[in-house]
């Protein structure tokens, strides 16, 4: 077998593999658009200083709900749930969390809970959010909007 045939064969396999992986990734993105993320429990509130900048950390349990009749399965190496961003009802970012999960399975019409996700927010945002909460009717967990940042083949996608 000549080197030319080997190179052509490897090239064909690489193109077919990339095409199949691209289709799987596209399907995962479409399915993830339907997944809903809800905060469940807040724990371990703590204030810290980092290079003169105050920030607040806490642990959060998140429920990821798959309302579709199809199992959500993202277990390929090319897909990673990198970050979860948290917004208030006025669409102001008040916290973020580095998650880095690359294997996520949610059965059809059910949910899973991701436990003890460390959320970090700067103190200025925390104070502004607290004043807004005290000035209004109170805090409602349902008013929190979450946005997931998913990395697929090195490209970040925001899914809300």
Q: Report residue 102 as tokens.
A: 């690359």
Q: What is the pLDDT of residues 32-64, one digit of tens each?
A: 778 887 778 878 888 777 777 777 888 888 888
The percent helix, strand, coil of the chain (3-state, each to 5) is 30, 50, 20
Rounded distance, CA 145 to CA 33, Å?
A: 14
Q: What is the pLDDT of residue 145?
A: 77
Predicted confidence (pLDDT) per residue in 78-91, tens digit? 677 788 887 777 77
Task: Kindly list the domain boundaries of the chain, sorted by start residue.
Answer: 3-159
The whole-angstrom separation of Cα 158 and Cα 85 is 9
Q: Kindly report, residue by residue over 104-113, the tens digit of the pLDDT.
A: 788 889 988 8
Average pLDDT over residues 16-30: 70
Residue 52, class by beta-carbon neighbours within 10 Å (0-12 exposed, 13-18 middle, 19+ buried)?
A: exposed
Dmax of the chain from CA atoms?
Answer: 77
pLDDT on residue 133 = 60
**H or E segment to which residue 72 belongs:** strand 72-74
**What pTM was estimated for this model as a whole?**
0.64
């Amino acid at each position: 077998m000549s080197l030319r045939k080997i190179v052509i064969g490897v090239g064909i396999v690489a193109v077919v593999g990339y095409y199949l992986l691209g289709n799987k990734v596209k399907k995962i993105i479409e399915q993830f658009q339907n997944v809903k993320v809800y905060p469940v429990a807040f724990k371990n509130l703590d204030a810290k200083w980092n290079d003169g900048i105050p920030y607040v950390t806490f642990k959060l349990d998140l429920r990821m709900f798959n309302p579709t009749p199809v199992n959500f399965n993202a277990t390929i190496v090319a897909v990673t749930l990198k970050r979860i961003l948290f917004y208030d009802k006025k669409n102001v970012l008040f916290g973020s969390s580095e998650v880095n999960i690359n294997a996520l399975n949610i059965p059809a019409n059910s949910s899973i809970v991701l436990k003890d996700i460390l959320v970090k927010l700067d103190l200025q945002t925390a104070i502004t959010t607290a004043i807004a909460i005290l000035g209004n009717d109170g805090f409602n967990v349902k008013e929190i909007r979450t946005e997931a940042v998913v990395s697929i083949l090195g490209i970040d996608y925001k899914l809300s």
